[in-house]
């Protein structure tokens, strides 16, 4: 059964993500012959620019939220939490399909059995992250032998035989900046603040964690700079206005919270003035 979901509007958070230590988000290694890199990064097929698939950031945020939510349940059963109702051997991923669950309502859930649980559409979408114009220009000038990236040798040792297993891993260099955008669909106006608190919290945790591969080797430290929060209600879309509200005063407090009365008013008004 598919849970019925309202659509009150959309909220967009955008800004830049800075790569603090070399970042590796791997593509399938079908291009081994090109340049002899064992582990290439994902690239746009047209421009050949390295980019970060939105699914990589979204997956990381989901796994961090699963872990923080599970931790907050304190006495939760790990086997039960990281599995799916109705069976399957899906482990290490949470999917309870309960509409009130902060993880499932944010990232979506599909029930493995028709008669158990709900299919929840994801509220959060993450756009692909592309290099800012300045970073792209800078990286084009790199002289590493690779287009816009660097490579790093990792010398893995086989723990049993002590045989060296050298590999070349391609990375997006430190200092590069990507544009990011998160798109949140408002399906329940009473959960907007809770959901966004979770998003912001996971972004902060991610800054102290790692994005992409080889995080334990120090890869993938990133830093988010939020620049703009845009709210669009149904009225915005119907009237063709650009946006109902633009917030760009990111200070100590997340602007959605400091402007909450205004935001709540927008959604309430949207309702009151429903076109008949």
| Residues at the site binding Zn ion, with contacts judged by CB under 5 A | 96, 101, 103-104
For Zn ion, the closer of residues 94 and 214 by Cβ is: 94
CB of 95 to Zn ion, least distance (A): 6
Q: Which residues contact 138 (CB under 8 A, 6 or more apart)?
A: 175, 176
For Zn ion, the closer of residues 96 and 263 by Cβ is: 96
- Indicate the burial class of 15 (C-beta count within 10 angstroms; 0-12, 13-18, 19 or more): buried
Token pair recorded at residue 152: 């790093």
For Zn ion, the closer of residues 104 and 203 by Cβ is: 104
For the chain, what's the residue count?
A: 276
Token pair recorded at residue 25: 């988000």
DSSP state for residue 12 in the 8-state scheme: E
CB of 144 to Zn ion, least distance (A): 43
Nearest-Å Rg of the Cα atoms of the chain is: 21
Q: Where are the beta strands (DSSP E) in the chain?
A: 9-19, 124-126, 130-131, 150-157, 164-171, 177-186, 222-233, 245-247
- In the complex, which residue's CB is closest to Zn ion? 101
CB of 123 to Zn ion, least distance (A): 13
Is residue 21 within 8 A of residue 234, CB to CB? The reply is no
CB of 118 to Zn ion, least distance (A): 10
Measure the CA–CA gap between 26 and 225, rounded to whole angstroms.
Answer: 24
Number of Cβ within 10 Å of residue 160's Cβ equals 6
CB of 212 to Zn ion, least distance (A): 25
For Zn ion, the closer of residues 96 and 245 by Cβ is: 96
For Zn ion, the closer of residues 18 and 84 by Cβ is: 84
CB of 67 to Zn ion, least distance (A): 13
For Zn ion, the closer of residues 27 and 101 by Cβ is: 101
């Amino acid at each position: 059964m598919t849970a019925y979901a309202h659509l009150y509007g959309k909220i967009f958070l955008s800004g830049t993500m800075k790569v603090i230590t070399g970042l590796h988000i791997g593509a399938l290694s079908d291009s081994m012959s090109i340049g002899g890199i064992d582990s290439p990064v994902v690239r746009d097929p047209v421009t050949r620019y390295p980019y970060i698939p939105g699914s990589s950031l979204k997956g990381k945020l989901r796994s961090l939220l699963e872990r923080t939510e599970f931790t907050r349940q304190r006495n939760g059963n790990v086997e039960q939490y990281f599995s799916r109702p109705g069976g399957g051997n899906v482990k290490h991923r949470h999917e309870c399909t309960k509409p009130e669950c902060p993880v499932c309502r944010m990232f979506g859930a599909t029930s493995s059995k028709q008669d158990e649980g709900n299919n929840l559409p994801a509220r959060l979408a993450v756009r692909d992250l592309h290099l800012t114009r300045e970073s792209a220009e800078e990286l084009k000038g790199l002289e590493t032998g690779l287009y816009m990236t660097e490579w790093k040798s990792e010398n893995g040792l086989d723990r049993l035989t002590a045989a060296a297993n050298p590999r070349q891993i391609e990375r997006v260099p430190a200092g590069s900046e990507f544009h990011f955008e998160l798109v949140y669909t408002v399906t329940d106006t009473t959960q907007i603040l809770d959901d966004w608190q979770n998003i912001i919290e996971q972004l902060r945790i991610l800054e102290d964690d790692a994005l992409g591969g080889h995080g334990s080797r120090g890869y993938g430290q990133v830093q988010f700079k939020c620049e703009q929060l845009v709210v669009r209600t149904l009225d915005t879309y119907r009237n063709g206005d650009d946006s109902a509200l633009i917030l760009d005063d990111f200070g100590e407090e997340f602007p959605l919270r400091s402007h909450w009365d205004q935001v709540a008013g927008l959604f309430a008004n949207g309702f009151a003035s429903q076109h008949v």
